[in-house]
Amino acid sequence: MKNKIIRGIGVSPSIAMGKAFLYTPKEIILSSKRKKGKIEEEIKLFEKARCLSLRQLRKLKLELKKMKDVQTPRLIDVQLLFLQDPLFLNSVEKRMRNGKESAEEAIINFAKGLEKDFLNIPNSYIAERYSDVKDVISRLLRNLREEEDASLEEFGEIGVAESFTASSVLELSKLGVKGIVSEGGGRTSHFVILAEALGVSTVVGANGITNEIETGDEIIVDGISGVVIIRPDEDTKRRFERKREEAIAIQKEFLEKKFLPATTIDGFSIDISANIELPVEIPLIKEYGAKGVGLLRTEYLFLTSKGIPSEEEQYNFYVKIAESVFPDYVIMRTLDLGGDKVFKMKMQEENPFLGWRGIRFTLSNEEIFRAQLRAMLRASAKGNVRILIPMVSQIEEILRVRELTEKIKKELKEEGILFDENIEIGAMVEIPSVPLMADFFSEVVDFFSLGTNDLTQYTLAVDRGNKKISYLFDQLDPAVITLMKMTVEKAHHNNKWVGVCGDVASDLVALPILLGMEVDELSLPLAFIPQVKEVIRGLSLKECKELLKNIEGKKSAREVREMLKEEILRRFPSFKNILVEVEND
């Protein structure tokens, strides 16, 4: 069938076209048939494979450092740290010595334990980190078995896979691959960050793609709108070729204007800031014209440290970012993990997506939370740090955060440590109870940040990672728009400001209604900032408000999108090809 369409998440502002190939890395075979040697021989074999893996990864890191404009070699550090982690080394050695396991069996059994932990993770961010662990274990086993990774014997221009790893993306890029499509992964996946740095067009979350495509099929990867077209007809190829050429020209034009403010034609200004996670992204904040950081995810520190990161380790990371963006601000989100991976927990939750994560977890682990709050407060001395609390559902949760923060402020004063006494504390709007109770929440928070990914998930009861129901997930569903609007109206009525840090902030079609609500800030992935600023400069607040009123009569996300698309094309006729849509034949 021509023009078979798979929709996913576009994570790069570019388009690639060409012959596809199914990238199928050799799956880790978690069983061992090798005859076991003596204990010392097995230990020696393990160490040989580990040292070879370390050398390969260090070489990979050096290659990344040599590549112009690529600032991502530290992504490999996660795997290097794993191979040197005392917990891993001691566990494997203990299995070989006391458990009488072979080197291969010891690695496999350790890996099975990890896999079990990760499968129970209710957090997509953490699940994405498992790909790094899986990648390094696969490398270690291949080296121990003296196997070659034959997955790249046959390749084309567009790689399609269940998922990729940072190292596989680097290898594919060196082979000239122009685009990648994966069923798994998300905006914060390390392979996505690397693909963006390498200029590889990328779509993730393309459910079902590996069942629909065969090696050699022609394919279009639209990293702008998150659409993948399999076996496009000639007319579609011509339209997307025009879109690709215009996207390159427009992106170049956008980058030239990246430092202009995001102000509508009738004078309404809005802050455009960056969502970041990794230290390597710090230099890019100003490079893309962002006004500071609207969302700093702090989970990276906890997942790459050998244990719980100390207050000092966290402070050094936070203060580096605060100083690099000064006088602009940085909004630091407190730990948004469950008690699943970083902190071993014996109890398995029956419904982890509705369970013990975010503020629910940190409030019940005060020692960990206290160290993080102290580090953030110490980094706030210049007055440009704000604290954001995730997974809030109850007002009492914010009251407890404030109570703990005041105690820490008192301690810091007694210790003579400088901090911002008026530091703002905000709540993520992810659970519908917050918009519904926004008047009351406004009494205890300084600002709100709309986390539209989770807000959509919890409002529509849709897991977008579930292939059978992901088609129901749309952040422009009228019900989600109603909750966003309710939050903004109630917050402004109580003199509080509202930002947006979910994916909807980088959706060009959604910008008119976000402006119509008069949100105060948009925070989005770095690469999308120039184009979002450009679109805002071409809109009028007055017309956006009228459009929002008209949207209120729409009954479905599809109706909303069609109406908004017409409005964007009326304002930006040159986007005709950028917003091109195709239908299945």
Catalytic positions, written as ranges:
190, 501
Kindly give the residue spans of alpha helices, DSSP state H, lying in 415-475.
433-436, 438-441, 452-460
What tokens does 582 get?
A: 């195709």
Closest C-alpha to 78, from 335, 277, 314, 350? 277
Strands 330-333 and 201-204: unpaired
Cis omega (within 30 of 0) for bond into 573: no
Task: Report the DSSP beta bridge partners of residue 524.
Answer: 274
Task: Report the DSSP beta bridge partners of residue 220.
Answer: 17, 229
Cβ count near 259 (within 10 Å): 11
Cis omega (within 30 of 0) for bond into 73: no
CA distance 474 to 453: 9
Cα dihedral across residues 414, 415, 416, 420: positive or negative: negative
Query: Cβ-count burial of 27 within 10 angstroms (0-12 exposed, 13-18 middle, 19+ buried)?
Result: exposed
Three-class secondary structure of residue 137 per DSSP = helix
Give me Rg for the CA atoms of the chain.
24
Query: CB–CB of 338/355 below 8 Å?
Result: yes
Tell me the DSSP string of 398-431: HHHHHHHHHHHHHHHHHTT----TT-EEEEEE-S
Q: At 64, which amino acid appears?
A: L
Q: Residues with Cβ < 8 Å from 378, sequence gap 6 or more? A: 311, 315, 318, 319, 412, 417, 418, 419
Output DSSP code: residue 277.
Answer: -
Three-class secondary structure of residue 22 per DSSP = strand
Q: At 278, which amino acid appears?
A: L
Cβ count near 534 (within 10 Å): 20
Q: Residues with Cβ < 8 Å from 142, sequence gap 6 or more? A: 26, 148, 149
Strands 201-204 and 9-10: antiparallel
Query: Cβ-count burial of 66 within 10 angstroms (0-12 exposed, 13-18 middle, 19+ buried)?
Result: exposed
Between the alpha carbon of residue 511 and those of residues 247, 257, 450, 486, 519, the distances in Å are: 18, 18, 14, 17, 10
CA distance 23 to 168: 10
